Structure 1
Amino acid sequence: MKSNQNILFEEIYQQHHAMVMQMCLGFVRGDHDIAKDLQQEVFISVWKNLKTFRGASSYKTWIYRITVNTCLQYVKKKKKEPTFSISEIENQVPFPEQKTPEKRAISTLYTAIGQLNELDRLLIMMVLDNQDYDTIAEVIGIQPTNVRVKIHRVKKRLKKILENNGNG
């Protein structure tokens, strides 16, 4: 027989694993393997801390915070190591399978998102996950009225990145 904690964890995982994966993908520029590793770290942390969850926020907000902290720790650790973008690797290594136009567009988007600063990445990934402004404000720690302005600015930066990469 499963314990209440096991049942609760399974429910939380089923409700939030896609959101966590999307956030992780944004932080690691679309690298699915690293994103899966980060997702696993997030849910290990959720499991370990489930007993201490106080209910001050929703599970969703709590998991967002764990995800952001996990991803930021990874990004800070990796800043010390030389990195290559997905497009640099794709240009160097021939892959036998061809990407569909949709997969290329998604890869391009994640690569562009990866060029944003950490806060902007978090913000745009939450927008892509259709989060409401109140949730975004709570996770980021700003007023809901400021969220709309920040989103507009991030979208403009992202558009500029995509236009420059497309013309470069």
Structure 2
Amino acid sequence: MKENIKFEQIYYNNYNKVVRICMGYVKGNEPLAQDLAQEVFVKVWEGLERFKGESKISTWIYRITVNTCLLELRKKKYTSNKNIEDQAEIYEVDSHAQKESQLNQLHRCIQHLSVDKKALIVLEMEDIPQKEISVILGLSHEVVRTRIHRIKNELKTCILNGTL
């Protein structure tokens, strides 16, 4: 019973962030992101007893999330290069719609990044500390800092010019 309560708390504390991370990998496909999140939490449930506590539990969960999403990308080959025009949205005057459109443009640009770059920027967008990202991805903190800076510049170029 105590383990069920612990898992429920872990689930509720991390579910929304896991779904958002998954959304970054699957081009904003919310139903697929939710399916992947459920798969992540099945893996968390199955592995909870083996969690050693050498890192924060959220770090461990985000690592499982990244690995699950990368596996899905390999299976479905979401990394194919599609034209941005194929995914273009109609811009409305409404500021809410304009912000949503800018967010969609950002997600389209993110989809054109390599899988490694996508993993970094999606975690960064979730406000996960860069030191924690370095643990999740197995990179040094300095490498993470440098790559994120470069990726942000690439995304700015993509958003301003419509290309990477």
Class of the TM-score when normalised by the shorter of the 2 chains: 0.7 to 0.9
1:39 counterpart (30, 37, 40) = 37
Greater length-normalized contact order (CA 8 Å, ≥ 6 residues apart): 1
Contact 1:29 1:112 (8 Å CA) reproduced: no
Q: Show structure 1 runs of 5+ residues with no match.
A: none
* One-letter amino acid of the structure 2 residue matched with residue 8 of structure 1: K
Contact 1:124 1:151 (8 Å CA) reproduced: yes
Partner of 2:50: 52
* One-letter amino acid of the structure 2 residue matched with residue 136 of structure 1: I
* One-letter amino acid of the structure 2 residue matched with residue 156 of structure 1: N
RMSD of aligned residue pairs (Cα, Å):
2.6
Report the CA distance shift for 1:31/1:86 in structure 2 as closer, same or farther (over 3 A): farther
Whole-angstrom CA distance in 2 between matches of 1:129 and 1:85: 26
Whole-angstrom CA distance in 2 between matches of 1:106 and 1:5: 39
Contact 1:30 1:111 (8 Å CA) reproduced: no
Q: Does 1:7 align with 2:42?
A: no
Q: Show structure 2 runs of 5+ residues with no match.
A: none
Whole-angstrom CA distance in 1 between matches of 2:78 and 2:108: 19
Report the CA distance shift for 1:8/1:104 in structure 2 as closer, same or farther (over 3 A): same
SS of match in other structure, 1:142: coil
Tell me the matched-pair count. 159
In the TM superposition, residue 85 of structure 1 has moved relative to its aligned partner by 7.4
* One-letter amino acid of the structure 1 residue matched with residue 108 of structure 2: T
Report the CA distance shift for 1:102/1:145 in structure 2 as closer, same or farther (over 3 A): same
Partner of 1:102: 99
Report the CA distance shift for 1:81/1:71 in structure 2 as closer, same or farther (over 3 A): closer
Matching of residues 18-29 of structure 1 within 5 Å:
18-29=16-27
Q: Normalising by structure 2, report the TM-score.
A: 0.85
Report the CA distance shift for 1:111/1:143 in structure 2 as closer, same or farther (over 3 A): same
SS of match in other structure, 2:162: helix
Q: Does 1:112 align with 2:70?
A: no
**Residue deviations 1:96-129, cap 9 Å, x none?**
xx98222222222112111111111111111111
Question: Following TM superposition, where does structure 1 have runs of at least 4 consecutive aligned residues deviating by more than 4 angstroms?
Answer: 80-87
Whole-angstrom CA distance in 2 between matches of 1:34 and 1:160: 29
Whole-angstrom CA distance in 2 between matches of 1:73 and 1:6: 28
* One-letter amino acid of the structure 1 residue matched with residue 99 of structure 2: E
Report the CA distance shift for 1:85/1:69 in structure 2 as closer, same or farther (over 3 A): farther
